[in-house]
Structure formats: structure tokens, C-alpha cells
Amino acid sequence: MAVVSLGILFLAIAITLLSSWKTNRGYEDATKKQGLKIVGDLAEKCVLPLLYESKEDALVALEKVLGFNNIVEANLYFKDGTRFQTVGDSPHGPLEKQKPCIQKGPSLFSKDEMHWHFCAPVTVGGPSVVVASPFDDMMYEKPDEEKELLGFVQIAIDMTPLHEFQYEIMMNNMVIAISVALALLVFVNWVINRLVRPLYSLSEKIRGAQKAVQLEGPKEIVAIASVYNDLIDELSNQRKMLEAEVVMRTKELVQARDLALAASHSKSRFVANTSHELRTPLQSIMGYSELTREQLLEEGRDDIVELLDIICSDADRLLTLINSILDLSKAESGEIELKLASEEIHHILKEAAQSVRPLMDFHKNSLSIQDRTNNCGPVLLDRMKILQILTNLLSNAAKFTKEGQVTLTATIEEHRLLFYVADTGVGISPEDQKEIFEAFKQVEGVGSPELRGTGLGLAITKQFCSLMGGEITVESELGKGSVFRVELPFKKPIEG
């Protein structure tokens, strides 16, 4: 609205200035034509006063000229430039002191801000030719044999009234233009408000999502409001239907969730009971097999000892599988509790390295331990779970690396404990990296068949990390090895 108002105001001022300029030009042209006609007529009337050198007749002719508006001076000169008669004020002196001109007839030969000066030759007879004036740089028409130059007449017109009139015209035009501009602004404002205010009201009510809009204004705006009301009614009906659908689906989802939770608890109880029932006889088998093995060794029955070793190995693997399934089930059901205690990080690193040393030696791998915790002292940790996390990661690194390097690194960053397990093994493809933390998921085509696990180690590791408020990530490239990163929060034990 402000831009429109300024535009209308500037347009009004521009039109006023242009109109005033055209009006002033018109008055100036009219004044010039009037001055040329008056001085020409005066030249004809001054022929006899110059011929007979009658100052009385010249004075009468010049005084008649002063009767015209704004003429303040009239002079009559002989052809040699001598002033013969003058009336009125003489603001610019005699004719010979003015700017040079060529006198072929009536002409405007000098003007300034206050006066315009016109002159005309006084001649008698036939045609004339232009010759040098007896005045400096002056030219005049010298009559030939049929025309004689007698002298010159000069008049001065006061331009002050014209300037005042021009100023008055400009001010009147300005007042009229501003009045019209204000009236136009009022009208435009009224039209815009009539169109815009209903739109603003409609937009505000639409933004408030009201059920109905009652507007007064142009029929187009009222029509828009009517369409909006129909749309709101339709949306209201759709929203009620959607809310009913959401309520129904929510009930179904709650029922499904309850069934899933019940099934999960049933599964956990079944796994726990089954695992308990399986572990008891399995441990008995392993115990009796070990006793039998020792007796056979004393008797030198090496062929049977080899069979018992296979039984013990398979039983150990089966026990590990049962324990892993039980741990995963407890972690998923939230039945595992953290057992925090004050522990030294370097002791955990050393114990984890010792537990996987046989597997490292089997594949001829070199294991390096780097403790970068700067002897931070004891921290509150669940030792068994962290030990199981590190053992799972180191075991996997040993299984999929042959004659390579495995590095276990521990460091601390802003109350976060970081473990890195890096290897130079076969690596993991980007597709497999998305699935390795899922239960029973294994990388196909790598590792020795006899050393392939159950696919539960990384799943349990991820569950334990989440349980302790941390996370586990992996960076790997096929043929270049893998780096597993475990980040866990920790606290210092309260002294005293």
C-alpha cells in the first residue's frame, strides 16, 4: 500500500511540473508575439515624429505604448543611435549599450530574468538591405533607393507579473494535483481494503482451521468463503472417519503388541526352561566323557580317545550355542541386569587377550594390545559383559584372519570408553555389514567351516552395548580387513 501511495504522489508531482512547464511556455510565446506586434506598430507610428523631429508627437506615441500591460519603458532613437524621446523607467540604459542584433524587423534582442527588450527599425520607402550599424557590432536594415531608415524604437516589458503568474499557476496545479492524488489514494485504499480485508480475514480463519467463515465483501470473496466452508465440512467428515479408523487400528495394534509381548515372554520362558533342561544332561555327558578319556589314556586306548575328543568338542560347541541362545533371549526380553563394579581396564584387556590366544595361534595371527586410557584408574563397569563383547569381537577377527594382524585398542574420550578391534582379514562387503548384527546372520563363503559360529555373537554384542547405553559400529572393505568400534559410557567409582 505504501508503494502505491508513493507512486501516485510522484505521478501527481510529475504531471504538475509538466503541465506548469507547458503553460509557462505558452504564456511566454504569447508575450513574445504581443511584444513583437506592439513594437512593430510603434515603429509605424513613429515615422512622422522622426521625419519632423516632433518630440510631442513622439511622446504621445510612446505614452500610448505604456498603456499596454507590463510595458515599463519605450524609447525612440535616430538612426545614428541618439535617443530622441523616452518614457518610463530605463532599467537597461540606451539601445547602443545592449547586445548586438540584426534589425530586419521587429525582434526580441535582449532578455533577462526581469525584463524582455524588443526593438524595430523605423523606415520609410521601399525595401531595404542589411548594413553595418554606426554602433559597435550593430547591424540594421539600410533602405535602398526606395526605402530610408529613420531610426529605431525600443520597448521593455516587465516579466515580474508573468513570473508571479507562472508561480501561481504552478502552485494551483500542485494543489489540484495533490488534491486529486489524495482523492485517488482514498479511492484506491477503499477499493484495496474492500478486496484485501476479506481475503485477510479469510486467510486468518483458514489458518485457524475454523469450521465456518462468514464474510461480507465482493461476491467473488463471498464465493471463495463458501467454497472454503464446503471444504471444511468435507475435511471435518474425513477427520471424524480418520479418527474412528485410528482408534480401531490402535486397538488392533495394542492387541497385536500384547500378543507379541506374551509370545515373547513365552518364548523366553521356553528357551530358559529348554536351555536349563539341555545344559544339565549335556554337562553330565561332558563330565563323564572327560573321566572316560582319562581312564582310556591310562590304558593306552588312543583310538577311542580320539573319538571321545570329538564328543567333547561337539558337546562344548553345543553348550556354547545353548548359552548364547539363552543370553540373547534374556537380552531381548530385558531380563539381564547390569552388575557394575570397580574394574581396571587393562585387566579386562589382558583377560580377553588370554581367552582368544589359542584361536589366534591356530590361525597364526599376531595379537596386539594397546591401552591408551593413560592409567585412568578403576571405573564402574559390568566386567563380564564387556569381557564377552571383546571376546566375541576378537574371536571373529581370529576366525576370519589368517597369518595376519589383530589389534585391540582401548581409549577414553569425554567420559566415553572406546574399544577398537581391527584385523587384516577378508573384510566384509557393504551388503553384509547391514545384516551381521542380526541373530543367526553369517557372512557366506568366508572362514573355515569347522570354525564358523552360530551367528549369535555379534547380535549378543549389540544387545549388550545397547543395554549399557552404548553402540557398536563397523568399517570394513573386502580384502583389507575390518574395524569394529564399541562406545560405552562409564563412571568413576565414588571414593570413600
pLDDT digits (tens, 9 = 90+) for 437-458: 887 766 655 555 555 566 778 8
pLDDT for position 484: 94
Instruction: Please state, in angstroms and rounded to a whole number, the distance separating the CA atoms of residues 216 and 455.
Output: 73
Q: Please give the residue that has the higher pLDDT: either 278 or 52.
A: 52
pLDDT in tens, 89-116: 755 444 444 433 445 678 887 877 788 8
Instruction: Please state, in angstroms and rounded to a whole number, the distance separating the CA atoms of residues 377 and 343.
Output: 8
pLDDT for position 128: 47
pLDDT for position 100: 38
Is the pLDDT assigned to residue 174 strictly greater than 80? no
Residue 221's pLDDT band, with cuts at 50, 70 and 90, is low
Q: Please give the residue that has the higher pLDDT: either 267 or 67.
A: 67
pLDDT for position 136: 44
What is residue 21's three-state secondary structure? helix
Place of cell 513622439: 58
Residue 419's pLDDT band, with cuts at 50, 70 and 90, is very high
Is the pLDDT assigned to residue 247 strictly greater than 80? yes
Mean pLDDT of the 194-203 span: 67
Amino acid at 88: G
* Nearest one of 142, 192, 143, 171 to 8, comparing CA atoms: 192
Mean pLDDT of the 56-63 span: 88
* Nearest one of 480, 390, 484, 391 to 437, comparing CA atoms: 484
Is the pLDDT assigned to residue 196 strictly greater than 50? yes
pLDDT for position 334: 63
Number of H helices, E strands in the chain: 11, 15
**pLDDT > 70 fraction of the chain, expressed in percent and rounded:** 73
pLDDT for position 278: 66
Instruction: Please state, in angstroms and rounded to a whole number, the distance separating the CA atoms of residues 344 and 408.
Output: 16
Is the pLDDT assigned to residue 313 strictly greater than 50? yes
Place of cell 508503494: 3
Cβ atoms of 126 and 147 within 8 Å: the answer is yes
Instruction: Please state, in angstroms and rounded to a whole number, the distance separating the CA atoms of residues 472 and 351.
Output: 21
Give the chain's length.
496
What is the reported pTM? 0.44
Residue 79's pLDDT band, with cuts at 50, 70 and 90, is confident
139-143, strands of its sheet edge to edge:
102-103, 139-143, 128-132
405-412, strands of its sheet edge to edge:
366-372, 405-412, 416-423, 481-489, 471-477
What is residue 92's three-state secondary structure? coil
pLDDT for position 277: 66
Is the pLDDT assigned to residue 368 strictly greater than 90? yes
Is the pLDDT assigned to residue 469 strictly greater than 70? yes
Q: Please give the residue that has the higher pLDDT: either 244 or 20.
A: 244
Instruction: Please state, in angstroms and rounded to a whole number, the distance separating the CA atoms of residues 233 and 227.
Output: 10
Residue 25's pLDDT band, with cuts at 50, 70 and 90, is confident
Place of cell 532613437: 77
Q: Please give the residue that has the higher pLDDT: either 408 or 125.
A: 408
pLDDT in tens, 297-310: 777 777 787 777 77
Cβ atoms of 182 and 155 within 8 Å: the answer is no
pLDDT for position 486: 94
Cβ atoms of 121 and 139 within 8 Å: the answer is no
Is the pLDDT assigned to residue 135 strictly greater than 70? no
Instruction: Please state, in angstroms and rounded to a whole number, the distance separating the CA atoms of residues 343 and 340.
Output: 9
Strands (E), 2-112: 71-78, 83-88, 102-103, 107-111
Is the pLDDT assigned to residue 142 strictly greater than 70? no
Angle at 279 (CA atoms; ends 273, 284), nearest 5 degrees:
140
Is the pLDDT assigned to residue 212 strictly greater than 70? no
pLDDT for position 216: 61
Least confident piece of the model among 78-82, 290-294, 383-387: 290-294
- Mean per-residue pLDDT over the chain, rounded: 78
